[in-house]
């Protein structure tokens, strides 16, 4: 589907955008990736980076011109600390970017537009996995209220472009669980729980602090599996039909840490919990039957294997750069216009 196609990946300097752009060029696409404040993390001869502020409509039109497909990976994201103290940080910039990129893509007559929603937009369901039909059954969990409604509005916009206008544009909506892997954010102010724990293990922090009680349950999916599912969704979904993308099994934060310690052979770690630190919904599980049936998707990478891959990647970046951060390629081909 994508071989020889022109594909726009917004947010190509970020976690999902970098991995998405990398997969697309490997499959034979010409990729244009937008950058805002971050630097490129991956280089390829068929990957062109373009500096752009997607809150500016003219720049949205410029970057999408001539593209066949759009993968909307650009987003203003952060971890629990920012969501707890600055809930509006995720609202205005993301609503503006999503709305304008949809409009610019429609005007440019792209074949299909992918929107990455979030499982955080679901209402609380206790220990019952949420299915796609549950999305608007109630408000999102209180700590996710702002970001959850922002994502819901993005989905509604996608439905409008797909179903409610003349000469509609095909839109695909995926709702991921907790994605982890190479090119993630590992700075503590913005990182999510898996990346933060991984960095603490690599740095052999003593004590090794876990935010919250460590009993929170999450569905963790390795980024390569997530990208596999996205590619299947883009290929097989031709109408507005949101789909959950996850591993299909939950694990406690403590279990994630225990696996990290075992994989990295960190013995006798002094682990402490800090319930005063911000934590999010106690349990979030996804029903992934639709992805299995309609997309033919099933994850291949176990938590142990995925964490081992991510640990190896992260440690290699530190050794290459001599600092505790992922590598950034200053020599990548970047166009500013």
pLDDT one-digit tens code per residue, 32-48? 999 998 889 999 999 99
Give the pLDDT of residue 80: 57
Answer yes or no: is 294 within a domain. Answer: yes
Sign of CA dihedral 54, 59, 63, 67: positive
Give the CATH number for residue 110: 3.40.50.720
Give the pLDDT of residue 39: 87
Give the pLDDT of residue 181: 97
Question: Do residues 102 and 259 lie in contact, with contact meaning Cβ atoms separated by under 8 Å?
Answer: no
Task: Annotate 135-182 with DSSP letters as a single string.
Answer: TTSSPPPGGGHHHHHHHHHHHHHHHHHHHSSTT--EEEEEEE-EEE-T
pTM of the full structure: 0.91
Encoded tokens for 84: 């707890």
Rounded to 5 degrees, φ, ψ at 175 are -120, 95
Question: Do residues 46 and 106 lie in contact, with contact meaning Cβ atoms separated by under 8 Å?
Answer: no
- Give the burial class of 183: count Cβ atoms within 10 A of its Cβ; 0-12 exposed, 13-18 middle, 19 or more buried: buried
Question: Do residues 161 and 169 lie in contact, with contact meaning Cβ atoms separated by under 8 Å?
Answer: yes
> What does the pLDDT look like over 133-184, one tens digit per residue?
999 999 999 989 999 999 999 999 999 999 999 999 999 999 999 999 999 9
Residue 108 and residue 110: Cα distance in Å, rounded?
A: 6
Query: Cis peptide before 207, with omega less than 30 degrees from 0?
Result: yes
> What does the pLDDT look like over 210-219, one tens digit per residue?
988 999 999 9
Answer yes or no: is 289 within a domain. Answer: yes
Residue 126's contacts (CB-CB under 8 Å, 6 or more residues apart) are 283
Answer yes or no: is 252 within a domain. Answer: no
Give the pLDDT of residue 44: 93
Strand partners, 116: 174
Answer yes or no: is 259 within a domain. Answer: no
Domain total of the chain: 1
Encoded tokens for 224: 């390569």
Answer yes or no: is 45 within a domain. Answer: yes
Answer yes or no: is 49 within a domain. Answer: yes
Q: Which residues form the domain of 168? A: 6-183+223-247+284-300+327-335
Question: Residues in the chain with pLDDT < 50?
Answer: 324-332, 336-337
Question: Do residues 4 and 29 lie in contact, with contact meaning Cβ atoms separated by under 8 Å?
Answer: yes
Answer yes or no: is 255 within a domain. Answer: no
Answer yes or no: is 313 within a domain. Answer: no
Sign of CA dihedral 119, 7, 296, 237: positive
Residue 69 and residue 109: Cα distance in Å, rounded?
A: 9
Question: Do residues 56 and 101 lie in contact, with contact meaning Cβ atoms separated by under 8 Å?
Answer: no
């Amino acid at each position: 589907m994508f071989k020889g196609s022109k594909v726009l990946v917004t947010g190509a300097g970020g976690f999902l955008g970098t991995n998405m752009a990398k997969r697309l060029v490997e499959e034979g696409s010409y990729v244009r990736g937008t950058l805002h404040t971050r630097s490129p993390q991956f280089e390829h001869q068929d990957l062109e980076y373009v500096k752009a502020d997607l809150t500016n409509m003219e720049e949205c039109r410029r970057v999408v011109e001539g593209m066949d497909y759009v993968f909307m990976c650009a987003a203003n994201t952060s971890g629990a600390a920012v969501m707890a103290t600055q809930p509006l940080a995720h609202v205005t910039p993301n609503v503006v970017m999503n709305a304008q990129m949809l409009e610019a893509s429609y005007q440019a007559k792209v074949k299909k537009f992918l929107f990455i929603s979030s499982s955080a937009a679901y209402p609380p369901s206790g220990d019952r996995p949420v299915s796609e039909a549950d999305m608007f059954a109630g408000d999102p969990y209180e700590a996710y209220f702002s970001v959850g409604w922002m994502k819901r509005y993005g989905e509604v916009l996608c439905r409008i472009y797909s179903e409610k206008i003349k000469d509609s544009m095909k839109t695909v909506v995926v709702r991921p669980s907790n994605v982890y892997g190479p090119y993630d954010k590992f700075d503590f102010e913005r990182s999510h729980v898996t990346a933060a724990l991984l960095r603490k293990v690599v740095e052999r922090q003593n004590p090794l602090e876990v935010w919250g009680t460590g009993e929170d349950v999450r569905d963790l999916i390795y980024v390569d599996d997530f990208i596999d599912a996205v590619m299947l969704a883009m290929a097989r979904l031709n109408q507005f039909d949101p789909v959950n993308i996850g591993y299909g099994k939950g694990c406690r934060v403590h279990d994630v840490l225990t696996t990290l310690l075992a994989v990295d052979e960190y013995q006798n770690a002094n682990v402490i919990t800090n319930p005063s630190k911000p934590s999010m919904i106690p349990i979030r599980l996804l029903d992934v039957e639709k992805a299995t049936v309609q997309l033919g998707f099933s994850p291949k990478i176990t938590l142990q294997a995925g964490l081992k891959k991510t640990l190896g990647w992260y440690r290699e970046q530190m050794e290459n750069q001599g600092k505790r951060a992922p590598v950034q390629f200053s020599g990548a081909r970047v166009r500013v216009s």
